[in-house]
A and B are shown apart, each in its own frame.
Chain A
Amino acid sequence: MKSVKGSSWKLTEAQLREWLRGLLEENHVVAPVEEDGVVLFRRIASADDAIVEASGKTRWSPKEFLFPRTEALYRYTFAGGAVQIEDPPVPEKHQVLFAVRSCDASGLVRLDEIFLSGTKDLLYAARRENTSVVTAACAAADPECFCTAVGYSPVGEEGSDVQLVPLDGVWLLRALTDKGQALVGDGGEGWKKATAADGKTLPAIEKKVAGQIDRGPVNQEWSQVLEDGFEHGAWDRLAQHCLGCSVCAYVCPSCSCFDMNHQGNAWCGEQCRSWDACTFPLFTHHASGHNPRATKQQRYRQRVLHKFAFREEGDQPFRCVGCGRCVAQCPAGLDIVNTVAAAVEAMREEGVDAAG
């Protein structure tokens, strides 16, 4: 989304909460909250529930508020010998995703590329249209973060309608789009206008965070190497300890696989779309019994390649936004960046079709 020149303010913590309180009157607000020790996005009832901090992230991305874990595409009832089809409910209130990290906001844009390019997914499109995103830039990297290694930034503006940037004790608030400007309006009581100098702190923050991310960059030209090395033996070795669950896909901000299923009884039912993952064997299992991705290594390769290869144009961003959740939460300690680096190294040294 193109950044338009909008207003820019400096807010204290109290003013930020006051603004959030105002947003809650008109909108459904989704923000990070803590529940049983887990920080996750939920629709909040009170501005005090939201966790808005200079660093740290939720356990999984906020993608479920655009692409729900499960949603009914239509419902039906049998009544009096006739079938009645009912469309799913249309969202009533505008939705604001609040304190989303830059990586997650980019993840939502990657989802847009799947659901809105070509034939639009109407349910997703309606929800997207009805949603504004307020990002919170990061002042520090978590141990698993690697956004700068894959071409993203802790202060990135992609997908962001309003951006909050943590400065010393205050928040820099930048309206980046018309949607964002609508949320900010003419500012709140006592808000200070930001100066040009405040805006210039962003590159410094980016540099500082990048310095904390101790990872070699994933190069654009690796995509081709990975695709050429599709049959390379390294994949078998690199994913030998993969357990075949889908933690990586479900906590990922940009994974978009889904399954269609039908649930009902003798009286009524619904056609549902639920999250699915390419790491599950059933995902590609044919009715004939054949499975084109029969091993966990083939399935893991699919996930890695869908993030870092299979790009229509060379300058498209990677579909991995570098949040690092899959690295932190993989039960078997698989690391997607190390996997890519090791695969490319093996392919270059041994030739792309070596048995490994």
Chain B
Amino acid sequence: MTEAIVTVKHGQAGSAPEGWRPHIVALVCNWCSYAGADMAGTTRLEYPANVRMLRFPCTGRMSPLMILRAFEQGADGVLVSGCHPGDCHYVQGNLVARRRFTIFRSLMDFIGIDLKRLHFAWVSAAEGHKWAKVVGEVTAAVQEAGPLPAFEHPEGWDGLDLPAMAGSGPQELEQKQLDAICGNLRKAASEVLSTGRASVVVGYGQGTLAGQTRPVFITDADACDTLVWGQGCRNNLSTYVASELEGRERVAVVAKTCDLGAISGLIREGQIRRDQVLVIGVQCPGVIDGSALATKCLSCSGDPHPICDLVVTVDGVQESCEDPSRAALDTPDARDEQIAYLESLPHGERWKYWQRQFARCLRCYACRAACPMCYCSSCIAEKHRPQWVPTSIDNPGNSTWNIIRAVHLAGRCSGCDECARVCPADIRLDLINRKLALEVEKQYGKVGLDPEEKSALVDFRMEDSEEFIL
């Protein structure tokens, strides 16, 4: 959306013109905070008039999109307010919202929104005084932060040099060993089909360009010799499982260790049943992205995981029967240093870093198409009553899309990096996903590969942290 539409011109943060007063949007719940504000009014309390209020049934109904929308439409700050924990009119709406906002807030901070602009408060219907105090504090904080920086490509900005990523990657395999694995894989696939354990094998076939593969769907045991294995097997094939299940009872899927989280997630979220998928885990040499080993591989051993039904290695094919509940992936990650570096920079630099990347976004939605966990038949980007995610391919719309994509995957993303791999604009979606995964893990613990576990953001605890809530 161009500046003609916004009522406030975005400026450079911290360069507030003389007499500038911030625009603040408050999203309030109907039952507590709205009534609290009402109470402040009837009590004749004075507080700054910079806040425009929007009334919602519950904080649980407030999507991060609404906060993004406010910023994109020219708000300099946003205040979200609802009932105290335990007081929710709908029992637990604010508890789920609390987790969601915790994670969303950390992402906004990461992409360069100064947290002086984004506030959360519990204000009950009786707390007119608290409402007035909160609005006063929030207004002062946003005033200090200044006008919201512009959603635009930072012209003439030199960019950042992120620290190099280190890691040894999986054990190096010679061509002879890869050939052995490939032979074993073909044998396993052929047996799966001929014994009727599954009626299709989703695997990798030869691609057109050197080192490129493409997904293949094999139904005939004799055709299994077209399967290939090597560093070009990039796709996360679990993306295809649900569609291949149409008219079939069971689908076999060739999986690298990094693909398993998605299979687990799909089961966890009820998209497929465990008995509908036969996982053929294959010893992985790591995959090449561009000209180097993919980032996700740097800290991965490449060994197949116990959650697999069949395990294919250099030595042969084994049935795997270990208890998947014991399975948890290690999470040291080569990216963590880059994330720490970005977080050490001022918000303005972070904002430029991400705005420059978002400026390149073409909105081809390859990130969404390749993501195994993006399975909605109708995406929020396509909802147009109202048009929550602007269809304009410019920085405001692109920022909204890239942020909300990540938010919708928070606590669910399996870290397979498919989105970052397929992005034609090389937007570091992997950094955003990783940042959110770290935050979820820090706050609510790690989600492993066990399909029985619950995703962090559909769950809550009464004692969840809420340090940031006023």
B 1-22 contacts with A by CB, 8 A: 1-2, 4-5, 7
Q: How far is the CB of B367 from chain A (nearest CB, A)?
A: 8
A274 to B216, CA, bound (A): 34
CA distance A311 to B418 in the complex (A): 37
A35 CB contacts on chain B under 8 angstroms: 159, 356, 360
For residue A199, CB closer than 8 A to chain B, the reply is no
Q: What is the CA–CA distance of A103 and B326 in the complex, to the nearest angstrom?
A: 55
CB proximity to A under 8 Å, residues B355-383 = 356-357, 360, 362-366, 368-370, 382
Out of A72, A143, A243, A282, which one reaches B382, CB within 8 Å? A282
Q: Who on chain B is nearest to A272 by CB? A: B392
Q: Is A329 an interface residue (CB 8 A)?
A: yes
Q: Mark A313-332, 1 if CB is under 8 A from B, else 0.
A: 00000000000000111011
Report whether A69 and B7 are in contact in the complex, using a CB–CB cutoff of 8 Å: no
Given A40-B360, A332-B215, the answer on whether A59 and B156 have CB atoms closer than 8 Å is no
User: Is A140 at the interface (CB under 8 A from chain B)?
Assistant: no
Residues of the A chain whose Cβ atoms lie less than 8 Å from the Cβ of B215: 241, 332-333
Contact B7 A143 (CB under 8 A): no
Q: Is A268 an interface residue (CB 8 A)?
A: yes
**Residues in B whose Cβ lies below 8 Å from that of A245:** 364-366, 368-370, 422
B424 touches A251 (CB 8 A): yes
- Interface contact B391-A332, CB-CB below 8 Å: no
Q: Are B4 and A250 in contact (CB under 8 A)?
A: no
A117 within 8 A of B: no
Q: Verify if A119 is at the interface (C-beta below 8 Å from B).
A: no
Q: Which residues of B contact A144 (CB under 8 A)?
A: 209
Q: Which residues of A contact B368 (CB under 8 A)?
A: 245
Give A37 to B210 CA distance when docked, in angstroms: 21
Beta-carbon contacts under 8 Å, B231-251 to A: 235, 239-240
A10 to chain B, nearest CB (A): 34
Query: Is the interface on chain A under 10, 10 to 19, 20 to 34, or 35 or more residues?
Result: 35 or more
Q: A59-84 CB contact bits vs B (8 Å, 1 = yes)?
A: 11000000001101001010000000
Q: Report if A227 contacts B (CB, 8 A).
A: no
CA distance A259 to B390 in the complex (A): 12
Contact of A36 among B213, B357, B366 (CB under 8 A): B357
Are the C-beta atoms of A331 and B369 separated by less than 8 Å?
yes
CA distance A264 to B212 in the complex (A): 44
User: B73 interface residue, CB < 8 Å from A?
Assistant: yes
Say whether B86 faces chain A, with CB atoms less than 8 Å apart: no
A-B contact pairs, 15 of them (CB 8 A): A70-B392, A70-B393, A75-B4, A143-B209, A241-B214, A241-B215, A245-B366, A246-B364, A250-B362, A250-B364, A261-B387, A275-B362, A275-B393, A331-B370, A333-B214
Question: What are the 3 tightest A-B residue pairs by CB atom distance, in nearest-first order?
Answer: A333-B214, A245-B369, A69-B393
B residues apposed to A, CB below 8 Å: 1-2, 4-5, 7, 73, 155-156, 159, 207-210, 212-217, 235, 239-240, 356-357, 360, 362-366, 368-370, 382, 384, 387, 390-394, 397, 418, 421-422, 424-426
